C-alpha cells in the first residue's frame, strides 16, 4: 500500500491498521495558537475570551481526529510556567481560568462522554497555580473518572521539570513499601494511571519534545508541523501514521542492495552532507522562527520511487525554487526532475 492509497482509506480501516501495529500513545503539543487565532479570527484578535473559546473547540476537534484514527491515549502538555512568566497579568489570569474548561466546560464534558474518555492531569500544577484553582481542578477531575473508559487524555499542567516530584514520589514509595519503585510504579504515581511508552509525538515549529517525563523511550517517532498546531489536519495525520507504520518500520536487507543503488544512496548522502533537519531561521519581518527545507534529491530516479510521492516532489521543487527574502537570508536550491 502506498501513501496515496492510505490517504483514501476510511477511518475504520485506518483504525484497524493503527491498532494492529500496536500504536496506542500519542503526545501532542499545541503551539502558535495566538498567531492562528489572529489570522483566522481577525475581528476578534484582541478578545482573549474569544481566543479561548475558539482554541478549545479546535483542541476538541484535533483530539477527536486522533481518536477516530485508532489512537487511544493522548498526552497533551497544556501550559508551563515558562509561558506564564513571559505573558502579562491579563493573559496569566485568563490562562489559569481557562484550565478549568478542561474539567468543567460542557463542550469538553460532552466530548469525554461521547468518546468514552477518561481524564487525568499530571504535572506540578499544585505548586504553580493559585490554591483555589488547583483545588477546583482536583475536585472536578475526581467527578470525571467514575467508570472505566476505552480512551484516555492526560493533560499536562506545569510538567516542565519533574525531577523533584519524581524524587519525592520515589521516597514516598520506599517509605510505604520498603523497596524502590519500578518505572511502572513511578509512571502510575506521576500520571495517575498506567501508561505505555510514547509511540508518536507531534509538535509544531521548533523541534522540541516537551513535558512528557518517564514515557519518552527514545524510540518514539517525532514529527513537527510547519504551521501552528491548530491547522493540523487529517492529511497530515495520515502522512504521519503512514510514515510511522510503513516508512520507518520496513527495513530492507542492505546485503541485497545493488552496486547501482549503493551509488545512488552515496550520491544522496553527499548531496545532503551539509544539511541538518531542524535548522531554521528567524524571519525578521515576522519575528517568527521557521524551519528551512533541508533534503535535496539529486537523482530523478529517487523522485520516481516510493521514497517521495509526486505530491511531495512537487512541494519540494516549489520549496527549493522559492528564495527567501534577501533581507534575512538568501536561499535557492534546485531539484532536477
pLDDT tens digit sequence for 240-297? 999 999 998 866 666 688 889 889 889 999 999 999 999 999 999 999 999 999 998 8
pLDDT of residue 311: 54
Write down the pTM of the prediction: 0.85
pLDDT of residue 304: 46
> Taking a C-beta distance cutoff of 8 angstroms, is the pair 170, 186 a contact?
yes
Beta-strand relationship, 200-204 and 151-157: unpaired
pLDDT of residue 267: 92
Closest by CA position to 264, among listed 316, 304, 321, 317 = 304
| pLDDT average, residue stretch 115-125 | 94
SS3 assignment for 243-279: HHHHHCCCCCCHHHCCHHHHHHHHHHHHHCCCCCCCC
Q: Using the predicted structure, report yes or no on whether residue 3 has a pLDDT greater than 80.
A: yes
pLDDT of residue 322: 43
Mean pLDDT of the chain, nearest integer: 86
pLDDT tens digit sequence for 182-194? 999 999 999 999 9
pLDDT of residue 147: 83
Query: How far are the Cα atoms of 87, 218, 320, 328, 334 from residue 73, in angstroms, in the given order?
Result: 31, 18, 38, 42, 42
| pLDDT average, residue stretch 165-187 | 96
Domains of the chain (ranges, CATH numbers): 3-247 (3.40.1180.10), 258-321 (no CATH)
Helix or strand (DSSP H, E) at 27: strand 25-28
Q: What is the share, in percent, of the chain residues with pLDDT greater than 70?
A: 86
pLDDT tens digit sequence for 287-301? 999 999 999 887 655
Q: How confident is the model at residue 36 (pLDDT cuts 50, 70, 90)?
A: very high
Amino acid at each position: 500500500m502506498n501513501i496515496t492509497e492510505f490517504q483514501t482509506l476510511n477511518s475504520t480501516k485506518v483504525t484497524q491498521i493503527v491498532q494492529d501495529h500496536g500504536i496506542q500513545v500519542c503526545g501532542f503539543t499545541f503551539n502558535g495558537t495566538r498567531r492562528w487565532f489572529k489570522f483566522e479570527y481577525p475581528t476578534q484578535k484582541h478578545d482573549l475570551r474569544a481566543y479561548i473559546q475558539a482554541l478549545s473547540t479546535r483542541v476538541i476537534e484535533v483530539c477527536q481526529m486522533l481518536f477516530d484514527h485508532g489512537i487511544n491515549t493522548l498526552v497533551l502538555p497544556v501550559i508551563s510556567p515558562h509561558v506564564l512568566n513571559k505573558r502579562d497579568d491579563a493573559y496569566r489570569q485568563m490562562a489559569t481560568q481557562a484550565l478549568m474548561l478542561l474539567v468543567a466546560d460542557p463542550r469538553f464534558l460532552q466530548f469525554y462522554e461521547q468518546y468514552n474518555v477518561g481524564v487525568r492531569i499530571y504535572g506540578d500544577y499544585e505548586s504553580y497555580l493559585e490554591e483555589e484553582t488547583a483545588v477546583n481542578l482536583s475536585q472536578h477531575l475526581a467527578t470525571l473518572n467514575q467508570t472505566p473508559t476505552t480512551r484516555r487524555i492526560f493533560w499536562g499542567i506545569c510538567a516542565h521539570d519533574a525531577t523533584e516530584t519524581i524524587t519525592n514520589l520515589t521516597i514516598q514509595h520506599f517509605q510505604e513499601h520498603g523497596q524502590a519503585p519500578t518505572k511502572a510504579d513511578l509512571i502510575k504515581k506521576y500520571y495517575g494511571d498506567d501508561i505505555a511508552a510514547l509511540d508518536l509525538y507531534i509538535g509544531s515549529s521548533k523541534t522540541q519534545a516537551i513535558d512528557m517525563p518517564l514515557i519518552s523511550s527514545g524510540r518514539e517517532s517525532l514529527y513537527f508541523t510547519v504551521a501552528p498546531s491548530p491547522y493540523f489536519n487529517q492529511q497530515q495525520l495520515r502522512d504521519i501514521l503512514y510514515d510511522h507504520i510503513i516508512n520507518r518500520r520496513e527495513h530492507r536487507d542492505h546485503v541485497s542492495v545493488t552496486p547501482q543503488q549503493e551509488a545512488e544512496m552515496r550520491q544522496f548522502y553527499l548531496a545532503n552532507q551539509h544539511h541538518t533537519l531542524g535548522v531554521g531561521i528567524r524571519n525578521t519581518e515576522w519575528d517568527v522562527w521557521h524551519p528551512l527545507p533541508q533534503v535535496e534529491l539529486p537523482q530523478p530516479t529517487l523522485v520516481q520511487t516510493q521514497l517521495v510521492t509526486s505530491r511531495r516532489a512537487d512541494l519540494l521543487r516549489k520549496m527549493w525554487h522559492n528564495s527567501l527574502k534577501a533581507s534575512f537570508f538568501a536561499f535557492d536550491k534546485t531539484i532536477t526532475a
